[in-house]
Chains A and B, each alone.
Chain A
Amino acid sequence: GIQVEQSPPDLILQEGANSTLRCNFSDSVNNLQWFHQNPWGQLINLFYIPSGTKQNGRLSATTVATERYSLLYISSSQTTDSGVYFCAVERRDSSYKLIFGSGTRLLVRP
């Protein structure tokens, strides 16, 4: 099956710093989403981005589908950005099933 690898697994930042999270996937995909899991466990949608670049405030994401990777940029990080960030993909030939990476655990210190 498709492999989804996220790096780094853990990241500690000082408030105000910038960071880049990476997601590599091993096969063509229909769908790629980035999520932030809050301390209570809920997955919050950040981006639906099977290709191209999107921005939402301090967050932006880029997916290069032909090279099978996606990047999530967090600028001017805040303590509320702490949590786990997941990348999830839906294989091109597989229906309605998201395959998740193992996540990047981010801690932003004040």
Chain B
Amino acid sequence: KAGVTQTPRYLIKTRGQQVTLSCSPISGHRSVSWYQQTPGQGLQFLFEYFSETQRNKGNFPGRFSGRQFSNSRSEMNVSTLELGDSALYLCASSTGQRQETQYFGPGTRLLVL
């Protein structure tokens, strides 16, 4: 099976712009979670989607949003980018059941100038 894929892998934006990141889960997986990793805050949970529904959300401002499509692919969007949004964005894939291993993609590195 192919692993979790994320596109793009690298992105440079300027403050005020918006960005959309994409994640394709492992075939057959219906849950996609998003995490932000920064040197200061570490790895933090953004949100989780299962069957096109957001099941859980972390403590991020409303500028961070996501969605999931019927094929389980997910996108996250960040509007009105700030310098502090520069980070590695990781998505994780699982079957969506409790007590399941989560598998991570390679990440998207976002730099906001």
Answer yes or no: are A and B bound together in one complex: yes
User: Chain A interface (Cβ within 8 Å of chain B)?
Assistant: 30-31, 33, 35, 40-45, 48, 50, 86, 88, 90, 94-103
B42, A41: Cβ atoms closer than 8 Å: no
In this complex, how many residues of chain B approach chain A with their Cβ under 8 Å: the count is 29
Q: Can you offer 30 A-B residue contacts whose CB atoms are under 8 A?
A: A33-B101, A40-B106, A41-B88, A42-B104, A42-B105, A42-B107, A43-B104, A44-B104, A45-B101, A45-B103, A48-B101, A50-B99, A90-B99, A94-B56, A95-B48, A95-B55, A95-B56, A96-B31, A96-B56, A96-B94, A97-B33, A97-B48, A98-B33, A98-B45, A98-B92, A98-B102, A99-B45, A100-B44, A102-B42, A103-B42
- Which 8 pairs, one residue from A and one from B, show the smallest C-beta to C-beta distance? A100-B43, A43-B104, A48-B101, A42-B106, A41-B107, A96-B48, A97-B45, A97-B56
Closest residue on chain B to residue A43 by CB atoms: B104
